Amino acid sequence: MPPRRYSSSWSRPRPVETAFHCGYIALAGRPNVGKSTLLNRILGQKISITSRRPQTTRHSILGIKTLAHAQLVYVDTPGIHDYSGRAMNRHMNRTASTVLADVDVVVFIIEALRWLPDDELVLKKLASLDCPVILAVNKIDTLASRELLLPELDTLSRKRAFAEIIPISASKGTNVAALESAIEALLPQAPPYFPEDQVTDRSERFMVAELIREKLFRKLARELPYGLTVEVEAYRREPRITHIHALIWVERQSQKNIVIGRQGALLKDVGQQARRDIEELIGCKVNLKLWVKVKEGWADDERALRSLGYTLDD
């Protein structure tokens, strides 16, 4: 350590200059292992929507955490999965793969005591990367005993030369600080990429559409959530209120009827829940209007996906 320098006038110490570290960190894994929950936990606020349904995340989303000596730029990615029968699935896999090719650190997230074929698929995708990979074993809060994890950690350590293997609970916050410290130690020296008060790269319009989609995912059963998307058609701010008009696109008329619900009850409930979250997000009163429209086969149409904002550089 270099000697401490003092001012010439009196003995008050001057701060020692330390190197600033900055880099991109991909949160990768199969669907529904807790990537978005982990990002929200790290940032201390909601950036990525969550639900119990796999494939809730469809876009890559930046979450930026700036400290006194480092800036960590997390990239939440769609879950990597084997099924590629529809254009939407292919889009999500391409998005995740593109992110992995251009980051400084990867956090590979798995579920404790539940190694599945899609985990193996992610592991194979990571084989060609040169950057360090940390394995985060999530959902340890669901285990009857932590001792059950010890044999699995030994097995996992043989799958790859991971930079670290850290058991965590993203929902409870267990060991998340240790994970952040391990990530920071692996980042290169670089100046910050974003202003210190910026938390994400996404616009309010995007976040609004995602919050509406989250409520739909949580309310609707079976496969219907995968056949819908949300588009913000109008967004107008006034001094005391923001007016938002959003379209919910579905693939079939029968799906439209389900989303609306009997006498409009389901759509009304979704709107009320989304409006509360949007008001918290933007900090003012919101007038939210929702409409449901049919665009047949949009989730299996590359052109339709692009028109609805599903691009690799969105």
**pLDDT at residue 17 in the model:** 46
Helix axes 265-282, 253-260, angle to 10 degrees: 70
Three-class DSSP category at 204: helix
CATH number among 3.20.20.70, 3.30.360.10, 2.60.40.10, 3.30.300.20, domain 204-307: 3.30.300.20
Instruction: Say what the pTM is.
Output: 0.85
Mean pLDDT of 280-306: 90
pLDDT tens digit sequence for 264-287: 999 999 999 999 999 999 999 999
pLDDT tens digit sequence for 82-91: 776 677 788 7
Q: Where are the domains of the chain?
A: 21-186, 204-307
Indicate if the alpha-carbon torsion angle 176, 178, 181, 187 is positive or negative.
Answer: negative
pLDDT band with cut points at 50, 70 and 90 for residue 63: very high
Q: Which fold has domain 21-186?
A: Rossmann fold (3.40.50)
Q: For residue 50, give both structure tokens.
A: 């969550």
Give percent above pLDDT 70 in the chain.
90
Lowest-confidence region among 40-44, 249-253, 303-307: 303-307
